[in-house]
Amino acid sequence: MNRLPWWMGGILMSALLLMTFSVFGADRPIGASTYVPYFAGLIFDLDPEKYTYLEEIKNPGAWEGVMLFGSLLGGFVTSVFITKTFRFSLIPSGWKKYKNSSVFSRLFWSFIAGFFMIIGARLAGGCTSGHFMSGMSQMAISAMIFGTVVMVTLVITGKLFYNTKED
């Protein structure tokens, strides 16, 4: 498998953060969860005067949509042309190995997990990408606490979800 070296990822992430924070880029921290209510407002034609939050997120929400599309496109281009690892799969190999081969089960649990994730992101006032990438790059104490809690939870969930004890 042709992979990019770890330091290349660091350089590219630094360039992304510098661009988003700069006045030549978005002139704001990076994040993604604000796009969900912004997009819902567009789809359901919600009146920003009635839902004042939609007026508040008009500019960041539009920018995050462009960033998310760019992330999707960048990941696709990288996996097809650079690393040559692109494949389409409804059930990743890890899911098959540790859980089951049911497409319904995979889609159902992915939806449930995504639902809880976006609810948690909105309650926390930001998403994991915002807290991790923007907050930690600015050495924000709240982002450091958030990152620690996420990592501890990740280890516990991984131990419970991917229990590899053989009978």
Tens of pLDDT, residue by residue over 60-82, are: 888 888 888 988 999 999 889 98
Going by C-alpha positions, the residue among 161, 158, 136 that lies closest to residue 146 is 136
Burial class (CB in 10 A: 0-12, 13-18, 19+), 135: buried
Confidence band, pLDDT 50/70/90 cuts, at residue 116 = confident
21 touches 29 (CB < 8 A): yes
164 touches 149 (CB < 8 A): no
Domain extent listing, the chain: 1-88
Rounded to 5 degrees, φ, ψ at 49 are: -70, -30
Is residue 114 helix, strand or coil? helix
pTM of the model: 0.67
Tens of pLDDT, residue by residue over 141-160, are: 888 888 888 889 889 988 88
HSE (CB half, 13 Å, CA atoms) of 89? Answer: 11
110 touches 95 (CB < 8 A): no
